[in-house]
Structure 1
Amino acid sequence: MNSDNHRTIIPATALDKSASGFSVAFNKRLQRRYRAEQRFKWLGIAAIFSALAFLAFLLTTVIGDGASAFRQTVIQLEISFDKEEFTQEDLLQADYQRLVKTALSERFPEVAGRQDKRLLYDLVSSGASYKLLNMVRDNPKLIGSRQTIWVPANDDVDMLIKGKIDMDQPEGNRRIKDRQFQWISSIREAGQVELRFNRAFFTNGDSREPELAGIRGAIKGSFYTLLITLLLSFPIGVAAAIYLEEFAPDNRFTAFIEVNINNLAAVPSIIFGLLGLAIFINFWGVPRSTPLVGGLVLTLMTLPTIIIAARASLKSVPPSIREAALGVGASKIQTVFHHVLPLALPGMLTGTIIGMAQALGETAPLLMIGMVAFIVDVPGSITDPAAALPVQIYLWADSPERAFTEKTSAAIMVLLGFLVIMNALAVFMRKKFEITW
């Protein structure tokens, strides 16, 4: 009998099962699982791009608001250093503000009324008199001469020149009046108004006048504070990590210390500020609002981070290094300090830099110890009253003047620049000194 007449008919489900090795139901579940994994992948990518978009929006806003702060409006005046104004030997006694007012009155002789003169004089910053004082102090031969000098403009004029005041609004809703706008337009047409690099932003301390305010005092205060923090936290943190990792016995007391160190790393920073207020200021009597007490407080906050990073670096050193050193007759201390510590030091430095970067951006603990005070003078030592860069940003953000808004964004740009540099330094050191075992 021909075998073709006796073919066996195999069901389709059996064919599917034999082709894939699994049942149809299992294949459907497997496809659903693949689709779910694909959706999760795309959700992750979308989350990353969303985060990057928000970060780009934040940076664009900060840079857009703060870039203009690096330029300052200056006005050209013809200043006559009349000898009648310098009748006393002390140059500080001269009325430099009157010299500025005289120059403005000569530039606009038609201005007569008291109110109009006040509006006219408001075009120039009060810092113009300090500039004239410094010029005469550096070169007394200017007395009796007539000089063309560029002086800083008032903050409202600066905002107008930068296009941040809408003159289409009613006069009562804006700080620049119509008469002032006419005078500014006149000197602009004469080429006596310019936008120049704002050196005062980097060389001056804080000020009530936005056009005179700078970040030099805040930068020096942050530098002294971080210097104290580094000098205290690094040796103490490394010593604690070496003891806990290499010498401490394995008992309940050591375990208790390790748990508390890990917990302290997660404590809100304001708690360290309260601790510093209670111990360093109220009990020890350390002066408030100084880099010394700020460094002590940030040391408490940074220590857990440095200890954890240092212990991780010590653990990364292979046990064979210790065994080899002990095998050739080295003592326990010699093994740790001559062999293990040098190999773990790059990782310790990386963790320290990251901890210092965290301390640089902290504001809450410094507010608790009084570094929120208005400090005009630039600190000269760790015991002088000072502000820190994050606190300076906080103070300017609370100021009502429109010009302080761009100052705030510019200070944020400087702070972000320092943080990026410190984190880049940590990455560089990790890559350069990293040892692969």
Structure 2
Amino acid sequence: MTDMASLMEDRASAKVISDNLQKPVDWDSPKLARKIKQRYAAERRFRSYGLCAISLALLALFVLGYSVVSKGYSAFFQTYIQMEIYFDPAEIDPDGTGDPAVIGNANFNGLIRDALSKRFPEVSGRSERRNLFDIVSGGASYDLREEVMENPGLIGQTRKVWLISGDDFDMLNKGYISADTEEGNRRLDDQELGWYNTLVADGAVEKHFHTRFFTNGDSREPELAGIWGAAVGSFYTLMVTLALSFPIGVLAAVYLEEFAPRNRLTAIIEVNINNLAAVPSIVFGLLGLEVYLNFMHLPRSAPVVGGMTLALMTLPTIIIASRAAIKAVPPSIRHAALGLGASPVQTVTHHVLPLAMPGILTGTIIGMAQALGESAPLLMIGMVAFIVDIPGGATDPATVLPVQIYLWADSPERAFVEKTSAAIMVLLGFLILMNGLAVYLRKKLEWKW
């Protein structure tokens, strides 16, 4: 009886719907016109909301980009001071032997100080002389040494040489230190401003392109610090990450998508892979600290450990992207290969993988870009150390660009602010390049079905 009553109710409802559908629609009625107008207004509002969201995103991106570029572009230029240097033979090569070892151990810093004292003979006090010698960077003596080592004929001559300035005079020349500020509120006193104005009036102050920023390693002196050491460390770290994560990730994706049985175990594995992709990166750093350093006793602050740690973080991204690319290959290609006698392994290696490779490469490059921008896992394994030398291999102590930015941002000197922003610009450039490469490969290699 209950089933019969339900059947009768369903038939009655169907009859009502049928009768309503058969009624003619009055397209000119005010009610319908009002509804259509409301629908169009809702669509316009939805479209305007989307445009507002995009505009806000672009505005935020512009503000961020302007903030970084405005603070960092000046780091690509460095102030140089022209000094008249007398290459004193008694100081450089007293015995006249021309021995490179003797010349290399000469006190070139003393030659610079003699030139500064001669240029400003009125300076006599110890503190005043210390401030005077800070006009030129402490690294300028190494430049003089290299110049004399390359051309020993300079010994005994007097030459005008452009020397890299100290960081405070560089900041003054770039406008970050204002002469209008009260003397007690700026790093340079009035006497130092007078020396600077004298040098400017004599045409002895210029800004040159700062090649050291791209060729030097880290340094305690802002004017000598560069990103090359961190860039090389990032390269070795990414190579280790790629060598580990790419083959393991692709093979795991192939097995899960093509060969793994559909049971509870594979379902658990798939859920865990998806969850690992959302795990905070610092958790992988803790895992690397415990396993690679405390248990396996691998070298601390080495790219090989950093690469192994980042490989753990990158694996879920590569597996998920590879599975999506493999799944996108039409089943008809698999059926055709199997129908012609190919084995399942031959079908995957000869047909499925080549067709899925554009998507796999895109996911891999995006994963590598994510690894390039990570700092938290590397901080946990000791890659935050102060490294001056350029690493020569994956086992040498090194740091990476994000950690180098972190170190410079924590430095008190004003000159490191522009170094930090400039390093961010370089890092963003690499990330944009890698993402652009991923887009290019996807467009260039993708198959149209």
TM superposition score normalised by structure 1: 0.93
Q: CA deviation at 1:111?
A: 1.7
Q: CA deviation at 1:170?
A: 1.5
- Deviation string for 1:18-61 (max 9, x for gaps)? 99447644543443333223212111111111110110111111
Structure 1 unaligned regions, length at least 5: 1-16
Name the CA shift for 1:22/1:253 in 2 (closer, same or farther; >3 Å).
farther
Q: Confirm or deny that 1:274 pairs with 2:280.
A: no
Q: CA deviation at 1:115?
A: 2.2
Q: 1:417 aligns with which of 403, 407, 429?
A: 429
2:220 alignment counterpart: 208
Q: Confirm or deny that 1:373 pairs with 2:385.
A: yes
Distance 1:293 1:142 in 2: 47
Q: 1:82 aligns with which of 78, 83, 88?
A: 88
Distance 2:130 2:438 in 1: 55
1:395 alignment counterpart: 407
Q: Confirm or deny that 1:336 pairs with 2:348.
A: yes
Q: Confirm or deny that 1:255 pairs with 2:275.
A: no
Q: Secondary structure at the match of 2:140?
A: helix
Name the CA shift for 1:203/1:324 in 2 (closer, same or farther; >3 Å).
same
Q: CA deviation at 1:100?
A: 0.6
Q: 2:359 aligns with which of 347, 357, 371?
A: 347
Q: Confirm or deny that 1:154 pairs with 2:160.
A: no
Q: CA deviation at 1:230?
A: 0.7
2:9 alignment counterpart: none
2:241 alignment counterpart: 229
Distance 2:255 2:28 in 1: 59
- Deviation string for 1:61-101 (max 9, x for gaps)? 11111111100000011111212113484334211111110
Distance 2:132 2:412 in 1: 23
Distance 1:384 1:147 in 2: 40
Distance 2:152 2:167 in 1: 30
Name the CA shift for 1:32/1:376 in 2 (closer, same or farther; >3 Å).
same
Q: 2:130 aligns with which of 106, 109, 118?
A: 118
Structure 2 unaligned regions, length at least 5: 1-22, 96-100
Distance 1:21 1:179 in 2: 88
Q: 1:184 aligns with which of 181, 196, 206?
A: 196
2:327 alignment counterpart: 315
Q: Secondary structure at the match of 1:180?
A: helix
1:62 alignment counterpart: 68
What is the aligned length? 421
Distance 2:219 2:142 in 1: 13
Distance 2:74 2:26 in 1: 67
Distance 2:292 2:372 in 1: 20
- Deviation string for 1:227-275 (max 9, x for gaps)? 1001111111111111111111111111111111111011111110001
1:51 alignment counterpart: 57
Distance 1:91 1:381 in 2: 31
Q: Confirm or deny that 1:28 pairs with 2:34.
A: yes
Q: Confirm or deny that 1:193 pairs with 2:205.
A: yes
Q: Confirm or deny that 1:39 pairs with 2:38.
A: no
Distance 1:385 1:140 in 2: 35
**AA at the equivalent of 2:358:** P
Distance 1:84 1:346 in 2: 67
- Deviation string for 1:371-414 (max 9, x for gaps)? 11111111111111111000111111111111111111100000
1:6 alignment counterpart: none
Q: Secondary structure at the match of 2:137?
A: coil
Q: Does the CA contact (< 8 Å) of 2:71 and 2:417 recur in 1?
A: yes
1:9 alignment counterpart: none
Distance 2:68 2:77 in 1: 16
Q: Secondary structure at the match of 2:332?
A: helix
- Deviation string for 1:105-158 (max 9, x for gaps)? 111122222222111111111011111122122233322222221110011100
- Deviation string for 1:196-217 (max 9, x for gaps)? 0001100111111111110000
1:12 alignment counterpart: none
Q: CA deviation at 1:177?
A: 1.2
Distance 1:183 1:20 in 2: 90
- Deviation string for 1:313-371 (max 9, x for gaps)? 11111111111111111111111111111111111111100100011001111111111
Distance 1:212 1:124 in 2: 12
- Deviation string for 1:137-186 (max 9, x for gaps)? 22333222222211100111001111111111211111111111111111
Q: 2:103 aligns with which of 71, 76, 91?
A: 91
Distance 1:95 1:131 in 2: 12
Distance 1:432 1:149 in 2: 52
Distance 1:382 1:152 in 2: 33
Q: Secondary structure at the match of 1:90?
A: helix
Q: Does the CA contact (< 8 Å) of 2:27 and 2:33 recur in 1?
A: no
Q: Confirm or deny that 1:433 pairs with 2:445.
A: yes
**AA at the equivalent of 2:250:** V
Higher mean C-alpha deviation, range 196-205 or range 125-134: 125-134
2:14 alignment counterpart: none
